[in-house]
Structure 1
Amino acid sequence: MKAINKRNITVLAVIVFLVFLAVERTTKSEPEAVPAIQQSSEPESGMNAGLLAPAFSLQEGGKSYAVGGSRDKAVLLNFWASWCDPCQQEAPTLNALALKYKNVLDVYGINVTSQDYKPNAERFVRKYMLAFPIMYDLKGEVFDKYKGMVFPTNVLVDKNGVISEVILGFLSPEELEKKIITLTGS
Structure 2
Amino acid sequence: MKKRNLLVVLAIVVLAGFAIYQNFTAKDRQASSHKEAAPKPNYMAPGFKLTALDGNVYEVGGTREKPLLVNFWASWCGPCELEAPDLKKLYDVYQDRIDFYAVNMTSSDRMDNIKSFVKHFDFKFPILLDSEGRVGELYRVSGIPMTYLVDKNGVIKEGFSILHPDELEKRIKQLIES
- The two structures have a TM-score, normalised by structure 2, of 0.76
Q: Percent identity?
A: 44
Per-residue CA distance 1:152-175 (angstroms, 9 max, x = gap): 00010000000000012x211101
- Give the deviation of 1:59 after TM superposition: 1.6
Q: Quick check: which has more Rg, 1 or 2?
A: 2
Equivalence map 1:52-131=2 (5 Å): 52-60=44-52, 61-131=54-124
Structure 1 equivalent of residue 21 of structure 2 = none
Instruction: Tell me which amino acid in the other structure corresponds to 2:91.
Output: A
Structure 1 equivalent of residue 145 of structure 2 = 152
* 2:171 aligned with 1:179: yes
What stretches of structure 2 of length at least 5 have no aligned partner?
1-25, 27-36
**RMSD value, Cα:** 1.8
* Aligned equivalent of 1:161, options 154, 171, 178: 154
Structure 1 equivalent of residue 126 of structure 2 = 133
What stretches of structure 1 of length at least 5 have no aligned partner?
1-31, 33-44
- The two structures have a TM-score, normalised by structure 1, of 0.73
How many residues are paired up? 143
More helix by share: 2
- Give the deviation of 1:46 after TM superposition: 6.0
- The list of structure 1 runs, each at least 4 consecutive aligned residues, that deviate by more than 6 angstroms after superposition, is none
Describe the SS at the equivalent of 1:135: strand
CA distance in structure 1 between the aligned counterparts of 2:38 and 2:108, rounded to whole angstroms: 22
Describe the SS at the equivalent of 1:76: strand
- Give the deviation of 1:55 after TM superposition: 0.4
